[in-house]
Amino acid sequence: MVADPFSDDDDKMRVRVGVVTDGEWVWQLAWADYVALHKVAPPQDFIDHAREMNFTSPEITDDRLMEIIEVLGLPQPF
């Protein structure tokens, strides 16, 4: 966990670190914390996409995951 950049009390407010994907959208795990803690909304396009997916993330293949990791320049998980 890292300090919440939207909090005035950096010593106490923390958000999670990580990257999440459904194979199409990629977002920081902290998004959920910002929504819960600060009542901010994600982009409408993301909400529409989630609704279309019935708010369920599909499993993605290892190949698709590696494509996303490469495009984003993230460290390889294995």
Residue 52 lies in a domain: yes
Q: What is the pLDDT of residue 58?
A: 92
pTM of model > 0.85: no
Range of the domain at 60: 2-72
Residues with Cβ within 8 Å of residue 6, at least 6 apart in sequence:
34, 37, 38, 40
Query: Looking at per-residue confidence, does 11 or 60 come out higher?
Result: 60
Count of domains forming the chain: 1
Residue 31 lies in a domain: yes
Check pLDDT > 90 for residue 13: no
Residue 77 lies in a domain: no
- pLDDT tens-digit series, residues 22-73: 999 999 999 999 999 899 999 999 999 999 999 998 999 999 999 999 999 9
Name residue 15's beta-bridge partners: 2
